[in-house]
Amino acid sequence: MALELKSSDNKIFEVEELVAVQSETIKSLVEDGCADNVIPLPNVDSKTLELVLDWCKNHVDMKLDEEKLKEYEDKFIEVDQAVLYDLLLAANYLNIKDLLNRACQKVADMLKGKTPEQIRETLNIVNDFSPEEEEEIRKENLWAFEE
């Protein structure tokens, strides 16, 4: 059973139902009988959709081989921030739990071990604390670090 998915930039992707229903969103459409025609995905562009579908397909293929799957996942998620961002939003929209999890983990890994200033710089966030506020929170949250 093949399904047709249309990206935001009007590209059509034909996929097996088994692969596509990794997305809970698509799965519920199929179950409700709304998947006969092309399924439009206005929030996902073709580039991202292609990646997402690759993820889904590999998860079907490698389902039984945990080690191989992990290797694939680790390699898959090595993308630049722009793509990671797109993947996050697509996985959220399409409700693909394992992809969303992995992408969020990648973001968390990116933030680990950085100082607040480093995080702000990486993500271009402006510090909206006043120096007093910052000092107070620092005292409350950051335990004294030794060694």
Structure tokens at 111: 């933030």
> Tokens 């969103």 label which residue?
25
Least distance between another protein and beta carbon 18 (Å) = 26
CB-CB contact of 95 with 24 (8 Å): yes
Nearer to another protein, 1 or 125 (CB): 125
Least distance between another protein and beta carbon 45 (Å) = 6
Least distance between another protein and beta carbon 19 (Å) = 24
User: What distance separates the 2 farthest-apart alpha carbons in the chain?
Assistant: 62
Structure tokens at 42: 């206005």
Structure tokens at 125: 């966030």
- Chain residues in the site for another protein (CB under 8 A): 8, 43, 45, 47, 80-82, 84-86, 88-89, 92, 100-101, 104-105, 107-108, 111-116, 119-131, 134, 137-138, 140-147
Least distance between another protein and beta carbon 46 (Å) = 10
Sheet of 2-6: strand order equals 12-16, 2-6, 39-40
Nearer to another protein, 64 or 82 (CB): 82
CB atoms within 10 A of CB 133: 11
State in Å, rounded, how far the first CA of the chain is from the last one. 59
Nearer to another protein, 16 or 83 (CB): 83
Nearer to another protein, 37 or 141 (CB): 141
